[in-house]
Structure 1
Amino acid sequence: MTAPLRVLVVDDEAPAQRVLVRMLQAAPGVEVAGIAGDGMDALDVLAHERIDLMLLDIEMPRMAGIELAARLSPTPAPAVVFVTAWPQYAVRAFELQVADYLLKPVRPERLAQALERARAQLAADTAAQRIGTLEASLLALREGVPDTRGSQVWVEWGTGRLRLALEDIEWFAADGDYVQAHTAERGYLMRDALNRLETSLPVGRFVRVHRSTLVNLAAVVRVGNAANGQLLLTTRSGATLAVGRRAKTRVKDILGA
């Protein structure tokens, strides 16, 4: 029996919450796992509950929907469907790889379509992760990447902190005065600077491929080129990372590509 799709409704207006909950309760194979009033409340729920999909409003107090989705990008897990009265955010939303974008008032048939798109996205992410894990393991063996199991970093999570193993992190990205640590599932915020972090990581495990990006060598499963000749790396979760011009030759040599 297929597990129900666990959905978190994130909206700061109670009437909108009630409408979505009623439609979700009428949808087959769906479970309402929680309700949150804004992005900060949603982070608290995500810290304690397994959520497959967020129905996410955009303009909310404390933390807007776009900001929350960006924290989970580019590998949104849970999947995200924006439900909003504002059409002007659609382009930015799909840049964050959301499953769908619904305009209020939401029609039941349109919500049903969005739920199917979310299921398809989650299934594709799971399959890519399985294949990527095998490919990454083979690459690590071939290149002799040092084994750093047990090494870890602390990241922000809800109202507390979460410990992540370095082997689970695919890349680090500078984010203003902070750093985003990206796993196959989502991105996590760190109170750190990328330059300082780089000096604290095990030698030979993470490589600077761009002034704002450090990549876990064991997470790289594919090397390719964009139309303009820029080197692109694909991680085991399917994320594509650009390599800076100055780092291109060094990165190719390290990966044997």
Structure 2
Amino acid sequence: MLNVIIVDDELPARENLRCLLESDPEICIVAECNNAMEAIREIHRHQPDVVFLDIQMPKINGIEMLSMLDHETMPRIVFLTAYGEFAVKAFEEQAFDYLLKPVEPERLNKTLYRLHNHCFSGNINQLKSINQKLNYIPCIGHNRIYLLNLDDVFYIASKITGILVFNETNQEYLTELTLRTLESKTCLVRCHRQYLINLKKLKEIRFNQTGGVEVILINDISVPVSRRYLKPLKELLGL
């Protein structure tokens, strides 16, 4: 059984693909999403085997979305596109396959045949070579997606409510990206198991009398530093 997520901002396209996939008894559609942020959340939740991913979506397109996923748990990606020229870009990103919209049953069956044969032949991560850096962090707003420029980010914290991104005024934004993805895809530096900081916003490192360490940012916000990350942080700063 293959667990599948469909990601497309057009409802008719999602419905068409769902109807075609449901004819295969070895396919289980675990989620449908109409934008990249929903898709990232559902991928984290369900850990699907395959994602059918539309390339052209508002705000964050399908190819940009891939750079925001954790590559160690990356599902196989089948790109969906209405334009043949995007197929070249899809394979540059090492997608498992691509389908032109509207999806034709015969072409989809070929893709499904390959997926059934390959998905359980080994844990092959076909997307490990995607090393695109993020220029912004997508965050969830009410009926919108905020795209925060990295230069405006002061620190990021992992809390019970999720991964929170903080700006100069200490306003918080919720993102679906993991700390591990943000650490590997941005210039932000880990100073604690639950925190990343922007070194450009660093003002001082403070040692308190009880042996604890914290960094003070230029907006006077303090962020804890754990012993594990203190030495690497000092090395980055040339200390």
Q: What's the TM-score once normalised by structure 2's chain length?
A: 0.54
Determine the structure 1 residue equivalent to 2:119.
122
Check 1:68–1:13 CA distance in 2 against 1; reply closer, same or farther (3 A cut): same
Q: How far did 1:121 drift?
A: 4.6
Give SS of 1:87's match: coil
The equivalences for 1:61-100 within 5 A come to 61-72=58-69, 77-100=74-97
Q: How far did 1:203 drift?
A: 7.0
The equivalences for 1:1-257 within 5 A come to 4-72=1-69, 77-126=74-123, 156=163, 159=175, 173-175=184-186, 177-178=187-188, 192=197, 201=229
Paired letter, 1:111: L
Q: How far did 1:23 drift?
A: 0.3
Unaligned stretches of 5+ residues in structure 1: 129-152, 180-189, 209-257
Give SS of 1:123's match: coil
Q: What's the TM-score once normalised by structure 1's chain length?
A: 0.50
Q: How far did 1:5 drift?
A: 0.5
Distance 1:13 1:37 in 2: 7
Unaligned stretches of 5+ residues in structure 2: 126-156, 165-173, 190-194, 203-224
Distance 2:80 2:95 in 1: 11
Determine the structure 1 residue equivalent to 2:222.
none
Structure number, greater radius of gyration: 2
Determine the structure 1 residue equivalent to 2:211.
none
Check 1:65–1:178 CA distance in 2 against 1; reply closer, same or farther (3 A cut): farther
Give SS of 2:78's match: strand
Paired letter, 1:112: N
Give SS of 1:72's match: coil
Check 1:23–1:122 CA distance in 2 against 1; reply closer, same or farther (3 A cut): same
Give SS of 1:20's match: helix
Percent sequence identity is 31
Give the length in aligned residue pairs: 163
Paired letter, 1:89: F
Give SS of 1:82's match: strand
8 Å Cα contact 1:7-1:34 kept in structure 2: yes
Check 1:72–1:162 CA distance in 2 against 1; reply closer, same or farther (3 A cut): closer
8 Å Cα contact 1:8-1:53 kept in structure 2: yes
* Cα shift readout 1:169-220 (whole Å, capped 9, x = no counterpart): 9xx6454x558xxxxxxxxxx95559999x975879xxx9xxxxxxxxxxxx
Distance 1:116 1:36 in 2: 24
Distance 2:198 2:83 in 1: 35
Distance 1:178 1:118 in 2: 36
Distance 2:8 2:92 in 1: 21
